């Protein structure tokens, strides 16, 4: 019993860091470094963050006054308790009593009465049965409604679910034996319908490090939609390839696997993320030489010219919310102009590093037009030697420029792709 309360307190501290503005991945990483990984902590923390906006609509009216900043962990504990009662089918009495008892593990005994009163009122709210009408920030709902008038309810629904585990095998011919090994382990897995290197694993409790072929570098975690980058860029033997904004390196390694004879330079401005890229290169191995450099491309151009450039641009992340639910809490409408401006700067700067006749693939994990087709339309209008090469993906949504994948629609996250070429000199 004591251990279960400690685990709930750990989850509450993780959620509190997100409520205070921290990234969920970093908060979980810090907890695991200190205490070791535990499935219950992950389940409670990730689930409570995913549902935090909707759960907060039930909890907030029951608070006589807002909690002080130093007591964000108490609010997090309330979110976890209500999440258990509403979304995990935990009996209400158990969810409430567990949250109340866990205040001791947070060393906030004074909050027992408050947590008890608020959660008892919350579990009596009819919305715990019917669900809350909005679990996304209003600004994002309005933009999705405008951009996707037919699809926006399905997008919101997908964002509130846990995405399946998507895997990339080293080569398409590896997929059948890896799939057989997964099913032999009792895992529910199937081949992706459209992406030849992708497998989809459903169900909870999957330990990535124990997946067949993972330690040997035969399989890695990568969304099926992200696996389109390498074949769409299509590097050829001897090509110089720049992977801009490369960390943590999933697409870099796929490029190296796709064309081992290419010469790849992977660039990112974040030293910590580059360290993860180096770790992934070491685990996966690569027949293609990969040069890793720390560089801020918004201020400094890379050396040389490249036949192929992959620009996986920084963006809102609006297409990957189901994997990163903290985006709903952390991203603001006010962030968008700076993101769009940075994308514009990167496009213009990298274009000067593209060799005549070369190809640039523009990618985002966004589903907002201002970061995607609008950005490409503006670039083409101001860049005389740029041409768009149509992308033939019948199962994706064709836009005025490029193609769009929507989260969950084809067992992928939400990705945008546009392929551009520079006229020969």
Shared domain check, 247 and 216: no
Shared domain check, 242 and 172: no
Q: How many Å apart are CA 129 and CA 32, to the nearest integer? A: 33
> What are the angstrom distances between the C-alpha of 305 and each of 207, 240, 255, 300, 351?
42, 8, 18, 14, 10
Shared domain check, 234 and 89: no
CATH of the domain at 408: 3.40.50.150
Number of domains in the chain: 3
Shared domain check, 292 and 376: yes
DSSP of 118-185, one letter per residue? Answer: HHHHHHTSTHHHH--S--S-HHHHHHHHHH-TTTHHHHHHHHTSPPPEEEEESSGGGHHHHHHHHHHT
Shared domain check, 247 and 185: no
> What are the angstrom distances between the C-alpha of 337 and each of 24, 340, 371, 375, 384?
24, 5, 10, 12, 25
- 259 is an active site residue: no
Q: Is residue 12 part of a domain?
A: yes
Shared domain check, 56 and 170: no
The catalytic position among 245, 259, 315, 365 is: 365
CATH of the domain at 115: 1.10.940.10
Shared domain check, 234 and 180: no
Shared domain check, 195 and 232: no
Q: pTM for the whole thing? A: 0.95
Q: Is residue 153 part of a domain?
A: no
Q: Is residue 140 part of a domain?
A: no
Per-residue pLDDT of the chain (425 residues; tens, 9 = 90+): 688 889 999 999 999 999 999 999 999 999 999 999 999 999 999 999 999 999 999 999 999 999 999 999 999 999 999 999 999 989 999 999 999 999 999 999 999 999 999 999 999 987 776 666 689 999 999 999 999 999 999 999 999 999 999 999 988 999 999 999 999 989 999 999 999 999 999 887 788 888 988 888 889 999 999 999 999 999 999 999 999 999 888 999 999 989 999 999 999 988 888 888 887 777 666 656 788 889 999 888 888 999 999 999 999 999 999 999 999 999 999 999 999 999 999 999 999 999 999 999 999 999 999 999 999 999 999 999 999 999 999 999 999 999 999 999 999 999 999 999 999 97
CB within 8 Å of 291: residues ≥ 6 apart: 263, 264, 265, 266
Q: Is residue 141 part of a domain?
A: no
Q: Is residue 146 part of a domain?
A: no
Residue 330 in 3-state DSSP? helix
Decide: 289 and 264 in contact? Cβ < 8 Å.
yes
Shared domain check, 415 and 300: yes
Helices H / strands E in the chain, number of each: 17, 13
The one-character DSSP state at 108 is -
Q: Is residue 328 part of a domain?
A: yes
Shared domain check, 249 and 346: yes
Task: List the domain range (segments joined by +) for residue 59.
Answer: 2-130
């Amino acid at each position: 019993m004591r251990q279960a309360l400690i685990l709930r307190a750990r989850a509450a501290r993780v959620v509190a860091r997100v409520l205070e503005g921290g990234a969920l991945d970093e908060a979980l990483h810090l907890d695991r470094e200190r205490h070791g990984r535990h499935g219950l902590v992950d389940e409670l923390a990730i689930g409570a963050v995913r549902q935090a906006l909707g759960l907060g609509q039930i909890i907030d009216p029951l608070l006589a006054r807002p909690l002080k900043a130093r007591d964000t962990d108490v609010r997090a504990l309330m979110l976890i308790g209500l999440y258990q009662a509403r979304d995990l089918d935990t009996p209400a009495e158990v969810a409430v009593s567990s949250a109340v008892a866990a205040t001791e593990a947070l060393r906030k005994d004074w909050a027992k009465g408050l947590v008890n009163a608020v959660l008892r009122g919350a579990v009596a709210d009819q919305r715990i049965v019917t669900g809350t009408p909005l679990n996304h920030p209003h600004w994002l709902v309005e933009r999705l409604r405008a951009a996707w008038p037919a699809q926006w309810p399905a997008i919101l629904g997908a964002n509130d679910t846990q995405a399946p585990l998507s895997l990339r095998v080293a080569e398409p011919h590896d997929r059948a034996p890896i799939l057989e090994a997964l099913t032999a382990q009792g895992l529910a897995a199937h081949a992706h319908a459209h992406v030849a290197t992708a497998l989809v694993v459903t169900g909870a409790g999957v330990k990535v490090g124990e997946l067949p072929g993972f330690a040997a570098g035969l399989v890695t975690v990568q969304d099926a939609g992200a696996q389109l980058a390498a074949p769409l860029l299509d590097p050829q033997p001897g090509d110089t390839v720049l992977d801009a904004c490369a960390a943590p390196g999933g697409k870099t390694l796929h490029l190296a696997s796709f064309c081992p004879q290419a010469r790849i330079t992977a660039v990112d401005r974040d030293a910590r993320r580059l360290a993860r890229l180096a770790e992934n290169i070491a685990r996966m191995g690569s027949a293609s030489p990969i040069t890793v450099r720390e560089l801020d491309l918004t201020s400094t151009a890379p050396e040389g010219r490249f036949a192929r450039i992959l620009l996986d641009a920084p963006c809102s992340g609006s297409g990957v919310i189901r994997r990163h639910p903290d985006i709903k809490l952390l991203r603001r409408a006010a962030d968008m102009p700076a993101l769009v401006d940075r994308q514009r700067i990167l496009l213009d700067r990298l274009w000067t590093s593209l060799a005549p006749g070369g190809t640039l693939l523009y990618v985002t994990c966004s589903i907002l037009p201002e970061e995607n087709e609008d950005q490409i339309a503006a670039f083409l209008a101001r860049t005389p030697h740029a041409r768009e090469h149509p992308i033939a993906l019948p199962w994706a949504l064709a836009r005025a420029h490029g193609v769009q994948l929507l989260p969950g629609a084809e067992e992928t996250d939400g990705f945008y792709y546009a392929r551009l070429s520079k006229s020969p000199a």
